[in-house]
Amino acid sequence: MESSHIVITGASQGIGAATAIALARAAKEGRLPGGAHLSLLARNRANLERVASACRQAGADARIAECDMTRPNEVHAAARSILEYGPVPTAIVHNAGVFAPGGIQDVDEAALQSQLDINLLGAFRLTRALLPAMRAEGRGHVLFMNSVAGIKGYPGGLAYCTSKHALMGFARALREELKQESIRVTSILPGATYTPTWDGADVEEERLMPPEDIAEAVVSAITMSPRSVVEEILIRPQHGDL
């Protein structure tokens, strides 16, 4: 039985790390028949090594690639490495992203472009590089870690909301393009989730969702029958948005 090969960006911490470990455990539990190969991408090699080690202990084969998703040459090099590594990817989890605060008078073009580079164009480049191989296989799954900011505007989050709305448009268009090719497209839209981004913020951890909950949503979407697709998953803290 063919094993799964799942690519996860932004895998060195937070939701990305939790997702990688959850997928490794799912493989050990038999929820990913044939086992799992995980390709973990991020900028922080030391953190990636720790996550990869945890994935191996949990039951999956894992390898890492340092990659800055804002640099096209690094994305293309990572894609080549992924395709050389093993089976054609069965899923891509686009998790790399960053939040930079600011309203219209605080955000210049460079700041907006920076948010678009990481939150939109990185996912665009990697999808475009890996999709031909997935199309040739006639199967696959592209998942985007979006945000409630992809469907709702927030004061002081202009560039972030803009980039996440654009990512939602990309995902929805891609879904329509690929639906007849048996390649699934899913967007996950979490609200406030406890990640290193919140370190130092005056917010109680109990007010935030644990990243493991978001990771389990990813696992559930991936392990669903290929006859079905979860197009969008909206997850909010029980007490609502912050």
HSE-CB for 71 with a 13 A CA cutoff: 9
Q: Which helix (H) or strand (E) holds 6?
A: strand 4-9
| pLDDT one-digit tens code per residue, 154-165 | 999 999 999 999
pLDDT on residue 206: 85
Over the chain, what is the mean pLDDT?
A: 95
| pLDDT one-digit tens code per residue, 182-226 | 999 999 999 999 887 767 677 788 889 999 999 999 999 999 999
Q: Is the pLDDT of residue 88 over 80?
A: yes
Q: In terms of DSSP H, where are the helices of 139-180?
A: 158-178
Question: Given 2.40.50.140, 3.40.50.720, 3.40.50.970, 3.40.640.10, which CATH number is that of 4-235?
Answer: 3.40.50.720
pLDDT on residue 28: 93
- Give the rounded distance of the alpha carbon of 148 from its chain centre: 15
Angstrom distance (rounded) from CA 66 to CA 218? 23
pLDDT on residue 1: 57
Supply the pTM of this predicted model: 0.96
Q: Where are the domains of the chain?
A: 4-235
Nearest CA among 109, 182, 187 for reference residue 150? 187
Q: Could you tell me if 33 and 163 are in contact, meaning their C-beta atoms sit under 8 angstroms apart? A: no
Angstrom distance (rounded) from CA 19 to CA 55? 10
Hunting for tokens 């894609």 — which residue is that? Answer: 79
Q: How confident is the model over 229-234, as a mean pLDDT?
A: 98
Q: How confident is the model over 169-185, as a mean pLDDT?
A: 98
